Structure 1
């Protein structure tokens, strides 16, 4: 069987075995400083993506400094989301940085594309529309990566599943592994759609879940 190369975006996540039963009730309060920072970062993300659009259209390249900045915003937002909004898989407070933090329980990496299609940048929004509609149903108005939207915890199917997981945690002291794996599959899918819609890759996101913590290479 021929194997395809791994998707350019990879997500690695580790479920914290020391999750406390009730910490999830107040995490959103602790994360308020992050929300304030992300308001500005998410606005910058949109502006940088707009500049990158014209750069790709003219040169066929995504400027590396702009690419690294947007990857950093995705990393930051992912850590905060993983901590207090969707999955809630760790009690470790997220760091204030755009850089990769190898020791943190969730990591995101996106391979830099040396070249991007000039014409594809014009139609990616149309090609990704079916997946955007599915993701919209899962997270309700793009709540997971809402780059300009109000905070709304436990919204959509992903939010509901996260709420069920932490209620079980509160009652039993254990986060259900099956729910964690499924949520990470949805989370990973959402991030891939985001990366494609944000012009960071020409590889169309696969229409399938990759559940669990490690991000496997698609066979």
Structure 2
């Protein structure tokens, strides 16, 4: 039996996706990219502050925790709409709060967190980063493309295996009008692994991410 994770990423595939809209979603989402650029910078700063608070008190300040979850949630909505899924044609809402959008992210608030573990989570997360890099690391197309910031949007000069699979899903949509269900479940599973790891590295949980690909739109367990 799979133990439910405190980090939950879920998605519902739109049964009636446009054949062609995915071709312009990258441009439609530009306002989100600009906002997320600022939010992500703020998240880095608040994570440093939260880490110091955990070291002293063993607690993640609740307002900063809710902000961090909201930023991750916003990233996942935009990713599911564009570069990490193409799973819905519904435009992502511009809010940190939970909505009825078909892609959602949440983390159970931890009442207590390990103080010393704050200093080593980045080290403990390296095995996950290496494995995830096999999916989301960029295939070099130009010399100046060193690495894809997977959270920041689509690449400009290189593509990861993950990005190429999303494009393949788009081609299926264009030709057949259908999204291959196994491909959808695999892509969401990779994203779930990525976000569990990011939540751990972001000090939001002490539960170490499992080394498994939990595919499908719903969380297992």
TM range (shorter): over 0.9
Q: Judge conservation of contact 2:148–2:155 (CA < 8 Å) in 1.
A: no
Q: Judge conservation of contact 2:70–2:97 (CA < 8 Å) in 1.
A: yes
Q: Does 1:198 align with 2:195?
A: no
Identify the residue that residue 144 of structure 1 maps to in structure 2: 150
Q: Normalized against structure 2, the TM-score is what? A: 0.92
Q: Normalized against structure 1, the TM-score is what? A: 0.92
Identify the residue that residue 143 of structure 2 maps to in structure 1: none
- 1:136, CA displacement in angstroms? 2.2
Unaligned runs of 5+ in 1: none
Cα distance in 1 between the residues matched to 2:167 and 2:149: 15
Alpha carbons of structure 1 residues 54 and 112: separation in structure 2 relative to 1, 3 Å = same
Cα RMSD, aligned residues only:
1.4
Q: Which of structure 1's runs of 4+ aligned residues deviate more than 3 A?
A: none
- 1:28, CA displacement in angstroms? 1.1
Alpha carbons of structure 1 residues 115 and 156: separation in structure 2 relative to 1, 3 Å = same
Identify the residue that residue 94 of structure 1 maps to in structure 2: 92
CA deviation string 1:79-124 (max 9, x = no partner)? 01110111110000000000011x2111111000000000111111
Cα distance in 1 between the residues matched to 2:196 and 2:3: 15
CA deviation string 1:162-184 (max 9, x = no partner)? 11111111111100001001111
Cα distance in 2 between the residues matched to 1:197 and 1:113: 15
Unaligned runs of 5+ in 2: 138-146
Identify the residue that residue 162 of structure 2 maps to in structure 1: 158
SS, match of residue 36 in structure 2 = helix
